[in-house]
Structure 1
């Protein structure tokens, strides 16, 4: 199973991120490439704990979260297209500095080489192991890179 904590996997993802440019169009969904980059920077900052975030599991997550997590990370199957984006991760700005956003995302990807955020609690899945986080982060990253054809 591919995992963001694997240095080879990280480098493969970084190579794909570097292929993004302003001409890339989403193959599904409504995000621009800039919104997708910014979304991933905020989302990875949330996972890594690099910014000020509040971690709390939603009530429905307490009931269904562990089962949903197991189904989500049980195999290599990519995320489905058009999964709704939680409000806190939606980016309103349509355009901005793509190179700065790419550089930030690549920097965040490198942070997974020394991952440690014992306070992290996923809003739906709840408390997760490092291995579970690694698989989820890989799948989320792969999902958005496939969204833009890289």
Structure 2
């Protein structure tokens, strides 16, 4: 009987692993292609439902976030380590970021950064490059990790989850998704 339970548990764990892997592949596909299909509808004057970023600032912000994941931009941990298990649980959950969720103060101030790209299209092209650099950086080494200032050290799979939540949050901010 014990052996049957162990086999059953092992099969359950394998099924969960393959389910999570499939879900992450869908999320990664969205980040690499689906997000840009949605962003094609975004215009420079598209109003935000909350927050103070305009459409281009939002795209530049997303690119910066991807740049953090492959260490082009580096921030130290900005939260007490004892909060990390709770934050990681959120990461693996179906919960979404709430409207007006704020980044740690040492990461983003109260005002959006000034525009750095020449146009909305240039910002989108830069975002696409940042996404691909993120994928490439981790593809070269599965054991790589990098620091997120609020979620701590993340591996590729965790970054995909976080990027997916973050992108959906900002697409909803601009009325691009329900």
TM-score by length of 1: 0.81
Aligned counterpart, 1:142: 168
Deviations 1:51-78 (A, max 9, x none): 2x33422351x11112222123312x32
Residues 56/74 of structure 1: CA separation in 2 closer, same or farther (3 Å cut): same
8 A contact 1:3–1:138 mirrored in 2: no
Distance 2:108 2:169 in 1: 15
More strand by share: 2
Deviation at 1:89, TM superposition (A): 3.7
Deviation at 1:92, TM superposition (A): 2.8
Aligned counterpart, 1:17: 39
Aligned counterpart, 2:103: 85
Larger Rg: 2
Distance 2:91 2:27 in 1: 19
Q: State the aligned residue count.
A: 146
User: With CA pairs under 8 Å and 6+ residues apart, which has the higher RCO, 1 or 2?
Assistant: 1
Q: 1:122 and 2:141 equivalent?
A: no
Q: 1:27 and 2:53 equivalent?
A: no
Aligned counterpart, 2:17: none
RMSD (CA atoms) = 2.5
> Secondary structure, in 3 states, of the residue corresponding to 2:96?
coil
> Secondary structure, in 3 states, of the residue corresponding to 1:24?
coil
Deviation at 1:14, TM superposition (A): 1.5
Distance 1:6 1:57 in 2: 25
